[in-house]
Amino acid sequence: MKKFIAEFIGSTFLIATILGTNLLAVSINGDSSAGHLAHALSIGSILAVMIIIFGPISGGHFNPAVTISFLAKGDINVSQCIQYIIAQSLGAILGAILANTMYGYDLISISSVTRSGGGILLGELIATFGLVLLIHLTLKFKEEAVPYAVGLFIFAAVSFTSSTAFANPAVSLGRIFSSAPASIAISSAIIFIVVQIIAGLIAFYVARFLLEKEN
């Protein structure tokens, strides 16, 4: 139960930060470059903080693609994986509701923001692949640096990828329930989620290959 709660709270803060900073930036400056920079920095920062706080309890996944990679690794079983994903998904939906409420939007709005095209999906694949690869390699070589490595990578990935680095199926789900510019339509979210899970698994197997001892 403690792990479920940790993943739920961390995911709630993550999506509330993603949508909240986006809505704040739009309300102050419109969709400006300064607003995007603050948005990216806020996401990286909240991820680092949540991993520091909840990592000792649940591992600090907050991301089904990460959780599924640890299932593939054998660190968690199927039942634990399902519980984590449920917690992450519910937390993401609550985070969207909280962001909507804070900025005076409808409690639940269904996004109509379509995100499609090969370039955007490639950006999402790159972001998720890089995130999951980074986590597994950093855990091996410098475990205490994981929160900072994840935060810095996401800060960079939000800034350089064409998809703005959702890199997280729970984030894709949560963003459906908002009308913020950073939201995503259901049809696009489904494709994003598939790409994210595949990219995460590829990243895990690449990490495992890199960490295997050569004969």
pLDDT digit string (tens) for the chain, length 215 residues: 899 999 999 999 999 999 999 988 777 766 567 777 888 999 999 999 999 999 999 999 999 999 999 999 999 999 999 999 999 999 999 999 999 999 988 888 899 999 999 999 999 999 999 999 999 999 999 999 999 999 999 999 999 999 999 999 999 999 999 988 889 999 999 999 999 999 999 999 999 999 987 65
pLDDT at 25: 79
In this structure, the number of other CB atoms found within 10 A of the CB of residue 123 comes to: 22
The ranges assigned to domains in the chain are 2-211
pLDDT at 214: 62
Domain 2-211 has CATH 1.20.58.1610: no
Backbone angles phi, psi at 59, to 5 degrees: 100, -15
pLDDT at 90: 98
Residue listed under structure tokens 């709005």: 109
Number of helices (H) and strands (E) in the chain: give both, helices first.
Answer: 8, 0
pLDDT at 196: 98
**What pTM value is reported for the model?**
0.92
Taking alpha carbons only, the member of 195, 164, 173 closest to residue 11 is 173
pLDDT at 188: 96
Per residue in 22-44, is it b (16+ CB within 10 Å) or e — as a string?
bbbbbeeeeeeeebbebbbbbbb
pLDDT at 29: 67
* The token pair that represents 75 in the structure block: 């660190």
* The token pair that represents 99 in the structure block: 């962001």
pLDDT at 37: 83
